[in-house]
Structure 1
Amino acid sequence: MRSLFTASLAVVASIVVTLPLQAQVLPEWNVIAAKQEQLGENHGLLTGAVEIEQGDTKLYAEQVQILDEEHIVATGNVVLTQGNNRIAADRSEFNTRTKLGTFYNASGIASVQPQRQAAPVAGIVVPQLAGQETDVYFFGEKVEKIGFKKYRITNGGFSTCVQPTPRWDLSAGTITLNVDHYTLLRNAVLSVKGVPMFYLPVMYYPTNEDDRATGFLIPTYGMSSVRGQSISNGFFWAIDRSRDLTLVHDWYSQTGQGTGAEYRYDVGGGSDGTLRAYTLDEQLGANPRSRSYRIDGGANHRLPGNFRARARVNYFSSILTNQTVNIDVNNASRNTRSYGGNVVGALAGFSVNGTFERNEWFNDTTNSGVTGSAPRLSISKNERPLFTGAPVYFSLGGEVVNLVRQTRALDVVTDDRSLSRLDFSPQLRFPFKRWPFFTVNSSISWRDTYYTRSLDPATGTVLENNLNRRYYTVGSQIVGPVFTRVWDTPDNGYAERFKHTIEPFLNVQRTSLIGDFDRVVQIDGTDIVFGGTTSYAYGVNNRFYAKRKLGQVSQAQEIVNVEVRQTYYTDARATQYDTRYSINTIGSAPTNFSPVSLGVRLTPSPAVNATVSAEIDSRHRELRSMSAQTSYNWTNRVQTTVGWSHRFFIEDLAGFNNKDALDHYVNLSTNAHTIDNRFGGVYTFSYDVRRSAMLQSRVSAFYNAQCCGIAFEYQRYNFAGVPSFIVPSDHRFFLSFTLAGLGNFSPFNGAMSGVPR
């Protein structure tokens, strides 16, 4: 009887000890464990496949010690999951009320939204990588969960490459990881496939849920024979949804240091702008102990009353520095700086345009020329019937402008031909379009121009005497008769129908005598008008059309266009002032005939086009110039352009009788990449055939793996002997990495620009 009582007491005690602890110590948590022990009033022990759950929070461990109602210690294969976030550790101290805690020898994954997509060239560029992840993998000796998506990591790191073996990671002594906001690292080291690549004492990394995130950008490494080695760093600040700012710092081993900023905004409604400023402090190199700057930008704003304002600036303080530092060959070879703005709109039926601009081009480092408008106000009346139902149309144009034209040496004006001009020009036009195969457009215009200064015809000196120039122009533009033939080719593999048109044309224009022509200070096209002559521009246009099936619809498109034209002048001197031809021959013997101009345009398919142009001298019957260009575009994955130009030697023709002043160039540009942008490259070159020299060549390539990528660029140029190019030659190399979710950028000097990373 005593044995039975003892056994019953033991069973009751066992039942009391193994009561479900969630009902006593963790009242709001579901608890599952192989063994549950009550060690005190608020103290318990769970062992064997422990799982506690509340909402989307689950904690797994081999053993969980319950210290009180809020604090537990989990050991052995600890795993915490909250939604899509997960932490695994050897040991954890966890608060069941706040759901925060500390994890030791831990690693985890947290969800993060995709980062910013690709942006314009020479700005912030975050590539679209193949298989780009949207999670952050992190690890550390100690990981403290101090917020719902905020962690403090000690002696650890993180990566957005979530693979069994991440291809890259950022490690640091202390990391504050704030998912959907930012990550702050101290003493950070970037490693790619376990190899340390670079060190940063402090790094701010964006993990923002927005599509634009504030943070540091991946540096770009470069090397140049002129500037030495270089490192470009960038920081991107997303001010708000319509504004951002990029700060950059460049270090050059043989030059000095540069700093810059790019501000962009887009407030909607067609109002946007970009402003980029860069300054270089040179201690060594071509321009030692000097500071220079460059400002580029543009703005476009909608104003009240159907007006719009625009502004632009492309200005540098030193042409030598501009050509030395600028990596983009097109910008580096540019010898012009300019700035300006205009306001345009409609007022009382008139178009109004107010403009201010200043352009300065350099022949070398000390001599330059300046042109511009300071300011210009243009008013025009669009063409409309002279009266209701009239077949005659009236239009009106006029302007008042202060024209700037100076020659400068060492910033001192050596020749100033600036003046003010008032211009007024009404026009009447009578179109005859009764027959579709024969049209005539006739017009008569009168022009009155007032100048505040004039030339001395004998000496060419600009005088302070004003001048009033008046003349009229009468002309007709005749097209036809037009001859047309159509072929139906239903069995043709290229097109189901072809059409050929032959369009002869004749443009007759009579300009009255301008008695003071030799007294006009010639600055722009308004001033370069030769009077007392009649011109006959004649030629023929051949057009070939093909009706092809593009998709589901058949469309007619022009596939071949061939135009031949020439102009005859009753006064041979007029050939020297006709701006319709690419090359004027001022200084050569006058002739009544202009060069024969040939233009050919081929577009056999939307992917292929080509142009050929040539000018043949009418007196010597020899080619003056010829150029050709062809482009190929295959589904935007392969884009190639090849160009060729040549100015020919003509012994007795001024401007063509000096072989050293002629040119002969071949250019090529190719851009290719895979459809998923996994790898690709850019190759360009410019070759001087006359000097048998490669002017410039550029090779860029990129490769994107699943979580990281690499891009490089190599440039070589040699402009020795080319006018206006002061820096003769340079060799350049650049290297940049791409990491999933981490932005890179193109430095302001043009390196890596256009590389489709």
Structure 2
Amino acid sequence: PTGDAVATGHVVFYDGQDQLTGERLDYNLKNGTGVVYNARAFSAPYYRLSGERMERLDESLYKIYRGVLTTCEDDPPLWSVHFGSGTVDFDNYVFGQNASFWVRKVPVIPFIPVFAAALRRERQTGFLPPTYGNSTLKGYFAKVPFFWAISDSQDLTVALDAYSARGVGANAEYRYILSGRAQGTATGFFVDETELRDDVRGYFKLAHNWTIGPGLSFKADINHASDDDLFREYGDRLFERSLQRTDSNVFITKSWQQWNFVGNFFWYQDLTTPRSVELQRLPDLRLTSVRQPVPGVPRALWELESSAVHFVREVGSEGSRLDLHPRALVPIRTYGTLTFTPFVGVRATTYDQKVVGSKTVYREDRVVELTTDAVRTRVLGETGTDFEARASRIYDVKAAGIAQVSHQIEPRVNYTFTDGVAKDKLPQWDGIDTLARRNAFTYSLTNRLLAKTIAGPDERPVKWELARFLVSHTFDADASTRPFSDITGDLIIDPNRYFRFRADAAYSVYAGNALRSVNSDIGLQLQDITATIGTRWNKSANISFVRGEAGARLSRYLALRGSSDWDAEKGVFVENRVGADLHFQCWALALTYINRAGPSIASGTQTPRADHEFRFSVDLLGIGAIGTQAGFGP
């Protein structure tokens, strides 16, 4: 009548998909509660729990005394968490008190007041793998992140950042989805440098995307740093430490069938000088039309580009500009492969400022314009033509997995004549303002190889661009000096999924200049090996840079990685990284050594000391980091 039952010996009890075994089971058949003694439990996919006594409180919910948790298959396990008492919900979490962390039979961390971990959930609330290390400039450091799965549409990651030679700080990332049309991310970092100069420094970023309705969207990308040196001192990767400014954009776009509108607020924070010279656009409004038929004129099309911009900056001229640029054109297609498109247009640009002189700002070492309030309108007329053609031929290959290759040749020629009135005393804010008389030919030749794979009877062939080579050049007949532009070339080779090559170059036709710039990137991706090499060389900017990166999986347990950035112009290894990742059945270890040396890209000043950094991170399968509520500190 009471529903009590007792089982002894090798007892096996199934609670949903979870299996429990023990020496004795006291169970009430009516209310589903009971006790398993000397119990062991397995919860998919890899959680293993044991305890002297496990009391079943509800479906999948247990109270455990003198419990042990691990995800290791070995006995004794490579790592485990022991706790005096705790609660486990096999569908949700495990929570323990008076805990300790063991490696094999050794209590490495003898006391952890409170331990918690999520079970089975795809987005688990709990500690993430911490990172510890030592840096020449920051001292010993620790980063202990905690992930909070707030809901299906929100999560928050908060990390403690502690540096023995700097101070204590934190960083956070909040991600949200407000609806199927709106989502965003807010991130931030701060550090209280109590050990250095007693200063609070930090960085904030907000990114928000909102699709308001059909064709209407709002986007924001806002960035701000507390000071110019923050990224150089706390950035991890080279691109962060070499940032020269942070950009912020807030814009709304609206698209119709034949029109597009973009309203943009753009501002930035210059990280190289206290007072910025570059322009900010507050706001920048642009309305453009797609090409559309001219009513009553067969084959004729028209298009419009227009903008209204208010320029703001701390040093130099600022003001407003309205620009209208309508064009009419008539595409004429002949012989099936040739397209001849004559065009005519006008550009009217109105300014509220007039240049009256210039001055040198010695602190910024720049010459800036002096302007006064005055409305001026520049009118430019333009005419010209575009000519383009395409010829192709298909070759049967049937080798190396390629069935066919199509060779396409695309010559293009553009002639543009531009001239007008009121072209002097105008502010020079961007490329629109520099437009003047022009009588130029631009010609280019593109060669493409398009490949198609060999496909089986039930397969679809894959098509891709095997190679592309583009050469272009411009001649301005009215240019008083140097009418010929640089010859530019762009080459892409993508023969298969393992190898990719891309390069571009600029060559001057004038004696004494020759090659002006060369950039290249080579990528190799095999099953267990990846490697990339990139070069950047620019003669006028005094840039000569080489970057290499490689990774190799040597076995199922070990992977190696490394990267190097070499400034050949200054003869300095800007950054070197080497690392190893060890993966085992129930844990993983990541080791990284970083050497940062040489001049700062952002300021051009010599770093007083090279920064040697070593870091490591341990990841326990299914758990992440082991620690108290506040996580492991340094």
TM-score bin, normalised by smaller chain: 0.7 to 0.9
1:524 to 405, 411, 430: 430
Query: 1:456 aligns to what SS in structure 2?
Result: strand
From 326, 334, 348, give the equivalent of 2:243.
334
Kindly tell me: are residues 555 and 176 of structure 1, through their superposed partners in 2, closer, same or farther at Cα, counting changes over 3 Å? closer
CA distance 1:246–1:424, shift in 2 (3 Å): same
Q: Is 1:100 paired with 2:33?
A: yes
2:123 match: 212
Pair 1:185 & 2:96 matched: yes
Deviation at 1:543, TM superposition (A): 3.1
CA RMSD between the two structures: 3.0
- Conserved in 1, the CA contact under 8 Å of 2:127 and 2:145? yes
Q: Specify the SS of the correspondent of 2:240.
A: helix
- SS of 2:229's partner is helix
Counterpart for residue 576 of structure 2: 697
Is the CA contact 1:405–1:523 (under 8 Å) kept in the aligned structure 2? no
Tell me, in whole angstroms, the C-alpha distance in 2 between the residues paired with 1:166 and 1:324: 41
Aligned match for 1:149, one of 45, 56, 60:
60
Q: Which of residues 596, 613, 619 is equivalent to 2:510?
A: 619
Is 2:467 aligned against 1:560?
Answer: yes
Cα 1:727–1:229 change in 2 (3 A) is: farther
Is the counterpart of residue 256 in structure 1 residue 167 in structure 2?
yes
Aligned to 1:35: none
Partner of 1:109: 41
1:542-594 Cα offsets, whole Å, 9 max, x none, are 33444442564456644332222221112335xxxxxxxxxxxxxxxx31111
Query: What percent identity do the matched residue pairs reach?
Result: 23
Aligned to 1:538: 443
Conservation of the 8 A alpha-carbon contact between 1:61 and 1:79: no
* TM-score normalised by structure 1 residue count: 0.74
Q: Deviations over 1:638-692 (max 9, x none)?
A: 44321122234xxxxxx4xxxxx612211112345589x7643432221122333
Equivalent residue number for residue 292 of structure 2: 384
Match of 1:686 among 538, 550, 565: 565
* C-alpha distance 319-197 of structure 1, shift in aligned 2 (>3 A): farther
Q: Which of 521, 532, 553 in structure 2 is aligned with 1:641? A: 532
By percentage of residues, which structure has more helix? Answer: 1
In structure 1, C-alpha distance between the alignment counterparts of 2:580 and 2:345, rounded to whole Å:
57
Which of 414, 430, 453 is residue 330 of structure 2 equivalent to?
A: 430
Compute the displacement of 1:485 (Å): 5.0
CA distance in 2, matches of 1:265, 1:295: 16
Which residues in structure 2 correspond to 1:652-667 (within 5 Å)? 655=540, 662-667=542-547
1:703: how far off? Answer: 2.4
Partner of 1:277: 188
For 1:363, what is the secondary structure of its paired residue?
coil
Deviation at 1:108, TM superposition (A): 1.6
Deviation of 1:244 after TM superposition, in Å, equals 1.2
Give the equivalent residue in structure 2 for 1:508: 415
Measure the CA separation in 1 of the matches of 2:87 and 2:453: 62
Cα 1:486/1:111, change in 2 over 3 Å? closer
Deviation at 1:102, TM superposition (A): 4.9
Tell me what 1:609 maps to: 500
Q: Does 1:446 align with 2:346?
A: yes
1:713 aligns with 2:592: yes
AA paired with 2:43? S
Q: Tell me if the contact between 1:341 and 1:355 (Cα under 8 Å) persists in the aligned partners.
A: yes
**What is aligned with 1:354?**
263
* Aligned-partner Cα distance in 2 for 1:493–1:179: 52
Q: Which is worse superposed, 351-360 or 692-701?
A: 692-701
Checking the alignment, whether the CA contact within 8 Å between 1:320 and 1:727 is kept in structure 2 is no
Pairing 1:273-312 to 2, within 5 Å after superposition: 273-285=184-196, 288-304=197-213, 306-312=215-221
Corresponding letter in the other structure for 1:537: T
Residues in 1 aligned to 2:144 and 2:220: alpha-carbon distance in whole angstroms? 29
Which deviations, in whole Å up to 9, do the C-alpha atoms of 1:446-504 show, x marking residues without a partner? 11111122322566322233322211222212124x555554455x5564544444443
Q: Does the residue aligned with 2:331 lie in a helix, a strand or coil?
A: strand
Please state whether the residue corresponding to 2:330 is helix, strand or coil.
strand
Task: Give the TM-score of the pair, scaled to structure 2.
Answer: 0.87
Indicate if the aligned counterparts of 2:261 and 2:285 stay in contact, CA closer than 8 A: yes
SS at match of 1:322: helix
Residue 117 of structure 1 corresponds to which residue in structure 2? Answer: none
Mark the structure with the bigger radius of gyration: 1
Deviates more, 1:596-605 or 1:552-561: 552-561
Closer, same or farther in 2 for the Cα pair 1:92/1:606, shift >3 Å? closer
The answer for the alignment partner of 1:16 in structure 2 is none
SS at match of 1:687: strand
Contact 1:402 1:420 in 2 (8 A): yes
SS in 2 for 1:331: helix
Query: Which residue does the alignment assign to 1:61?
Result: 8
Q: List per-residue Cα deviations over 1:360-391 (Å, max 9, x = no partner).
A: 22225x45445322122222222211126721
* 1:701 shift after superposition: 3.0
* Contact persistence 2:346–2:380 (CA under 8 A): yes
1:739 equivalent in alignment to 2:620: yes
8 Å contact from structure 1 (residues 92, 103) kept in 2: yes
3-state SS, counterpart of residue 624 of structure 1: strand
Distance across 2 between alignment mates of 1:493 and 1:139: 57
The worse-fitting range, judged by mean Cα deviation, of 239-248 and 547-556 is: 547-556
Q: After superposition, what is the alpha-carbon deviation per residue over 1:330-368, rounded to whole angstroms, capped at 9, x for unaligned?
A: 22221212222111113695322111121122225x454
What letter is aligned with 1:742? Answer: I
**Residue in structure 1 matched with residue 227 of structure 2 by the alignment:** 318
Counterpart position of 1:345: 254
Residue number among 111, 114, 133 corresponding to 1:202 in the alignment: 114
1:197, distance to aligned residue in structure 2 (A): 4.9
Aligned to 1:596: 487
Q: Which runs of 5+ in 1 are unaligned?
A: 1-25, 30-51, 53-58, 63-76, 113-133, 407-414, 574-589, 649-654, 656-660, 746-757
Quote the Cα distance in structure 1 between the aligned partners of 2:108 and 2:371: 65
One-letter code of the match for 1:241? Answer: D
Q: 1:80 to 1:619 in 2, by over 3 A?
A: closer
Is the CA contact 1:495–1:549 (under 8 Å) kept in the aligned structure 2? yes
Give 1:4's aligned residue: none
Given that 1:425 and 1:447 are in contact with CA atoms closer than 8 Å, whether structure 2 keeps it comes out as yes
**Relative to structure 1, is the Cα distance of residues 493 and 370 closer, same or farther in structure 2, using a 3 angstrom cutoff?**
closer
Conservation of the 8 A alpha-carbon contact between 2:291 and 2:303: yes
